[in-house]
Amino acid sequence: MKTVLMVAEKPSLAQSIAKILSRGSLSTRKGLNGACSVHEYMGSFMGQSVRFKMTSVCGHVMTLDFIGKYNNWDKVDPAELFSKAPTEKKEANPKLSMVKFLQVEGRGCDYIVLWLDCDKEGENICFEVLDAVLPVMNKCHSIERTVHRAKFSSITDTDICNAMNRLGEPNQNEALSVDARQELDLRIGCAFTRFQTKYFQGKYGNLDSSLISFGPCQTPTLGFCVERHDKIQSFKPEAYWVLQAKVSQEMDNTLTLEWDRVRVFDREIAQTFLLITKMAKEAMVESLSRKEKVKQRPLALNTVEMLRVASSALGMGPQHAMQIAERLYTQGYISYPRTETTHYPENFDLKGSLRQQANNPYWAETVKALLAEGINRPRKGLDAGDHPPITPMRSATEAELGGDAWRLYEYITRHFIATVSYDCKYLQTTIAFSVGPERFTCSGKTVLSPGYTDIMPWQAIPQEESLPTCERGDSFSIEEVKLLEKQTNPPDYLTEAELITLMERHGIGTDASIPVHINNICQRNYVTVETGRRLKPTNLGIVLVHGYYKIDSELVLPTIRSAVEKQLNLIAQGKADFQQVLNHTLDIFKRKFHYFVDSIAGMDELMEVSFSPLAATGKPLSRCGKCHRFMKYIQAKPSRLHCSHCDETYTLPQNGTIKLYKELRCPLDDFELVLWSSGSRGKSYPLCPYCYNHTPFRDMKKGMGCNECTHPTCQHSLSMLGIGQCVECENGVLVLDPTSGPKWKMACNKCNVIVHFFENAHKVRVSSENCDSCDAALVDVDFNKTKSPLPGEETQHSGCVFCDPVFQDLVELKHAAMRHPMHRGSQGKRQGRGRGRGRRPGGRGNPKKPKDKMA
């Protein structure tokens, strides 16, 4: 019997699709990587009985990067990254062993059906999966096609079954356009980022950003924010005057009239108009008009509009909104959320989608009324040829979804119902008055038919007081005529919604990448998100953009990136050659890079005005081992130590606190040690600033602290404080934290595992002897008499943390609470005790002798 392998983009999607196609009769097992499951069932494929294996990847299988030596910032000239530096595809997440997993599942299969998301990124992942699987699949000797592509827009029974019955082929051109974008962004972004990061962080201490990044899309995005900031700063308020008249007729309410001239900027002229109008005894009705007007229902919903509304009305950042939309899609609540299309396909079942909402308590009445009187034909929007617009796929309640997921789902559903509702109709009445020679008007709106505003009440026509009934020639008595002095106001900072509109208009990024670019400029500390989700550029963001304008405005203007996006779209359509577009674009940016490097002094002049030089930043902390003077600790990102006498800068571990470590010195270079800590619930370890930046032994890497140092005799090194192999990760060693008493702990020097032990012990030290059972180093513990938990009121004991029964109840495994979100573990949740859930450490620290002697 033949086997069909089917691959989706996410584990949850694979499960949903397998359940639909197997009608619920399937068996499930975990894959070898632990992250992806394999769902198996029997069925028919191309007229024969086959065994189906449905599994998934977790996003991209591979990522593009430079080969090893070109990732060293210190040894490679950034200019080489444009052409000389070779790139390679590496596993996007090596821990998942995705290639190995796909090959294990693909071995012996006869067909493959690709259920990746139906966009350009999805097509690219299709070919990443094929590269891994095709070499191990059974070879087909007939002309029969073995590779199939499923095209779908939602996780519904109808859509999935239709996709299975109409299988196509993956699109090589769309995949190539993604490869081109990846390579351009990597080469251009890395070259500019490395150069400007090294140049400016070597000179200034308070930039407060660990990376001075440049991106072909990211930088124009920042440019829009700074352009608005510059308009605000250069704005000069100007006084103007408005004439306001109030009139009434007998006992009716007073009407406030608007001046037809709107405003004048000359006070004397305004005073003249005031005197003329004050001479009039009454206001005469010159004309009365009533017009029926229409407020159009919205177009079908695409990604950009969804992100705009999520930011402006729901207060969600674009990145957050996109993550929620993707989760709603994988759970089957909405259709695919990445689309540029605002036009429903001709065969789209509008009534079927609407019927699903007929019993929803929030809008059942509106939906039933619509179904009874017949739905309105949606407006004709743009058909971009990708996915149908975003629509609800099944009914849901607030209790079911909760929080932001419900708010976004509610908006998507209300928007969908509005697109098939009727337009809002209202009557606009305008009365024109003459007060002396000056003309004034007064208008009001009366709703005739609310239409779609029933379901989108925030767009409803506001209720206004009705205007009095009158005819041409009627007169109104003048209550008052006055002159109002006002000032022109500057524009406000861009909202995320306005920025998304600008990016879409100028072709910066795609519907998928727009949220990423906005998130990047926030994370790099180039802009901050203020109230109302307005983006205010920081000093660093402003100086960078002004610097680009000074050197080469095309680096920050949207024009050049927009042209590149058009070329990439031509690759996707098969109308442009991948290599030609790549070479041409890289050649342009290579020339721009060389000019930028030669002209960097222009940007530096702006930096000097806004930021402090390294020597004038920070506070004295520890002594330099070369000149024995105090080095300054610069706390702003990236935190580092700077010796102004030697003019040397030493990087430090980030996202934690640094303090002096007991004025102890490194035996290798005489630098004073500092202590890094991620907080009371996290890890801490000492490090030598010089060794951290210049590895003393061949078996060490740059960026290692004393807890990974292989010095054979230093009291702070791994050799002296290492206890045993980590209970969770493969390469880590649990190292005693000598500063943690009386709440003693040992921490893994690779992952975020922490083992708390011997609370209130007076002294804990690592013995030179090893455990006979597990080869971990023994620990000598000395308790105070009054607080000793040892049997028989003993105060001292020596034994193995993992094997000694006396220590069994005194050991508790936790995960470090790291400051950086990347390292967020389960933060203090108990995970087990004793031997670390039965895993035995495989030996003490690093038993190998260091290859080098002391420097």
What is the Cα–Cα distance from 241 to 262, expressed in whole angstroms? Answer: 9
Give the residue among 98, 476, 521, 49 at the shortest CA–CA distance from 252: 476
Can you read off the two tokens belonging to residue 820? 């950086």
Residue count of the chain: 855
Q: What Å distances lie between residue 506 and 546, 732, 785, CA to CA?
A: 20, 49, 74
Give the residue among 272, 282, 271 at the shortest CA–CA distance from 245: 282
Q: Do 818 and 701 contact (CB within 8 A), yes or no?
A: no
What is the Cα–Cα distance from 765 to 763, expressed in whole angstroms? Answer: 7
> Strand, coil or helix: what is 320?
helix
Alpha carbon 504 to chain centroid distance?
Answer: 18
Q: What Å distances lie between residue 405 and 59, 209, 542, CA to CA?
A: 22, 32, 35
* Rounded (to 5) percent helix, strand, coil in the chain: 35, 25, 40
> Which residue has tokens 């927009």?
562
Burial class (CB in 10 A: 0-12, 13-18, 19+), 779: buried
> Which residue has tokens 């006084």?
239
DSSP code per residue over 545-593: HHHHHHH-GGGTSHHHHHHHHHHHHHHHTT-S-HHHHHHHHHHHHHHHH
Give the residue among 721, 748, 715, 758 at the shortest CA–CA distance from 836: 748
> Strand, coil or helix: what is 505?
helix
Q: At what angle do helices 558-572 and 218-234 cross, to 10 degrees?
A: 150
Q: 3-class secondary structure for 608-661?
A: HHHCCEHHHCCEEEEECCCCCCEEEEECCCCCEEEECCCCEEEECCCCCEEEEE
Q: Do 91 and 118 contact (CB within 8 A), yes or no?
A: no
What is the Cα–Cα distance from 346 to 325, expressed in whole angstroms? Answer: 25
Q: What Å distances lie between residue 762 and 143, 463, 740, CA to CA?
A: 78, 76, 11
Specify which residues 256 forms β-bridges with: 246
Residues with catalytic function:
336
CB atoms near residue 743 (< 10 Å): 13
Give the residue among 68, 10, 69, 20 at the shortest CA–CA distance from 41: 20
Q: At what angle do helices 578-598 and 558-572 cross, to 10 degrees?
A: 160
Q: At what angle do helices 318-330 and 403-419 cross, to 10 degrees?
A: 80
Helix ranges restricted to H, 78-217? 98-106, 120-133, 157-165, 172-201
What is the Cα–Cα distance from 519 to 535, expressed in whole angstroms? Answer: 11
Alpha carbon 157 to chain centroid distance?
Answer: 31
Q: Do 736 and 850 contact (CB within 8 A), yes or no?
A: no
Please list, residue by residue across 208-226, b when 16 or more beta carbons sit within 10 angstroms of its beta carbon and e when fewer do. bbbbbbbbbbbbbbbbbbb
Cis (ω within 30 of 0) for the bond into 742? yes
> Strand, coil or helix: what is 481?
strand
Q: Is the dihedral of CA 258, 259, 265, 266 positive or negative?
A: negative
Angle at 526 between CA 206 and CA 182, to 5 degrees: 120
